[in-house]
């Protein structure tokens, strides 16, 4: 996974870009963490539902539906990036308003600098970035699908 994300990151480089050589080990990071409920409210401003709450939610419960949608989005490729282990550990489950400036400050990787354009990190942003990464991947590996 790290290799794929590194290759996608390099796609952002152009003829005017400096060469970036990575001498340290990188780790995969979920931008929106798997444990998102404490720091990432749903678009409505409400907190997501835990497993116990979801198990008793009524059919048609919009908060439950939003929680399920978010849980699914967190596990998609559009929500992944690569970071050094110290940065990954420092950011952990932080909210986007804290995570975004730290990513932009400490990571020079183009794949992370591209996150600058996202004021909000939610399911729509994850889907949009996932599609952009897929488009890049198809340019790199056109015969892969």
pLDDT tens sequence for the chain (145 residues): 999 999 999 888 888 888 778 888 999 999 999 999 999 999 999 999 999 999 999 999 999 999 999 999 999 999 999 999 999 999 989 999 999 999 999 999 999 999 999 999 999 999 999 999 999 999 999 886 6
d(CA 16, CA 47): 44
Residue with structure tokens 């950011």?
91
Q: What is the pLDDT of residue 46?
A: 95
Query: Smallest Cα–Cα separation from 83: which of 102, 57, 60, 56?
Result: 102
> Which runs of consecutive H residues, i.e. helices, occur in the chain?
2-10, 51-56, 62-74, 85-91, 96-106, 110-113, 123-140
Quote the pLDDT of residue 145.
Answer: 60
- Residue 25 has what pLDDT? 92
- Taken as a whole, the chain contains a residue count of 145
Statement: the pTM of the whole predicted model exceeds 0.85 = yes
Phi, then psi, of 80 in degrees rounded to 5: -105, 150
3-state DSSP of 17-39: CCCCCCCCCEEEEECCCCCCCCC
- Model pLDDT, residue 12: 81
Which tokens sit at 142? 């056109």
Provide the residue ranges of all domains of the chain, joining segments of one domain with +.
Answer: 2-140
């Amino acid at each position: 996974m790290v290799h794929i994300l590194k290759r996608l990151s390099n796609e952002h480089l152009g003829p005017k870009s400096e060469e970036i050589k990575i001498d340290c080990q990188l780790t995969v990071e979920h931008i929106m963490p798997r444990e998102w409920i404490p720091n990432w409210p749903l678009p409505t401003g409400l907190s997501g539902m835990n497993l116990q709450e979801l198990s008793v939610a009524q059919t048609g419960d919009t908060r439950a539906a939003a929680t399920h949608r978010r849980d699914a989005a967190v596990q998609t490729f559009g929500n992944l990036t690569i970071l050094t282990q110290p940065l990954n550990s420092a950011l952990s489950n932080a909210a986007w308003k804290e995570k975004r400036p730290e990513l932009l400050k400490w990571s020079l990787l183009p794949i992370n600098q591209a996150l600058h354009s996202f004021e909000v990190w939610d399911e729509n942003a994850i889907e949009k970035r996932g599609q952009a990464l897929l488009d890049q991947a198809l340019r790199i590996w056109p015969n892969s699908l």
